[in-house]
Structure 1
């Protein structure tokens, strides 16, 4: 049985500027995890935003846990808040901005699993 506790995970600042931990990722396990996806716990501090970027091959879903923000995908934008799931297709230029005065916290689920080689920072917002 595999149970991961968020309080035992290490956070880092990713290339897109988000603060995250890889909660569930095959490369971090010492056995053959039979999952083609990855899950990260992500935080965007108050009034910050991530850098525009895209995943070339992976789709992503952001599931908003707390806070509020504005999601940007390929030139479209929409307000996001807790309880919403946002689908981000492969190749879409995306970023999220925190429009509130508390942390914007969400799960980022990538399929196939996230890899550094798949992520590309974009000059276009």
Structure 2
């Protein structure tokens, strides 16, 4: 890895089947230990239940108001400045319960890849 500055480019945003918009701000083989994505969830939208295998994820809430569900924890509201810690293989989803976009950084270690993502929307009952 070499020193660099990665500028946010809103034109890089793409929509995912998880029902949110993502910008992969830093996710490359040059820095395999971590990835950083900007996630955006529109008002009234809840992402799909999913889990990441072998990857720890952290949400850093930047803007908006959400309700996060992680593992066996009770649903909790999150707001700017809050951090959500999500262990590997732990079911998770987040809802935007506010009137503006919910924006957060999703920081994964090791870095995120499609191979670690599993949609469990139809099988989420009883999974922690």
Report the TM-score, using the length of structure 1 for normalisation.
0.90
Query: What are the within-5 Å matches in structure 2 for residues 1-125 of structure 1?
Result: 1-7=3-9, 10-27=12-29, 33-76=30-73, 77-122=75-120, 123=122, 124=124
Structure 1 vs Structure 2 CA RMSD:
1.4
Determine helix, strand or coil for the equivalent of 2:48: coil
Moved over 3 A (4+): none
**Deviation string, structure 1 residues 76-95 (Cα, Å, up to 9, x no partner):** 21110000111000000100
The DSSP-based 3-state class of the residue aligned with 1:26 is coil
Contact 1:9 1:23 in 2 (8 A): no
Name the SS of the counterpart of 1:110 in structure 2.
strand
Matched residue SS, 1:117: helix
Structure 2: give runs of 5+ residues left out of the alignment: none
Aligned-residue offset at 1:35: 4.4
Paired residues, number: 120
Name the CA distance, whole Å, in 1 between partners of 2:31 and 2:12: 23
Q: How far did residue 14 of structure 1 move?
A: 2.0
SS at match of 1:6: coil
SS in 2 for 1:17: coil
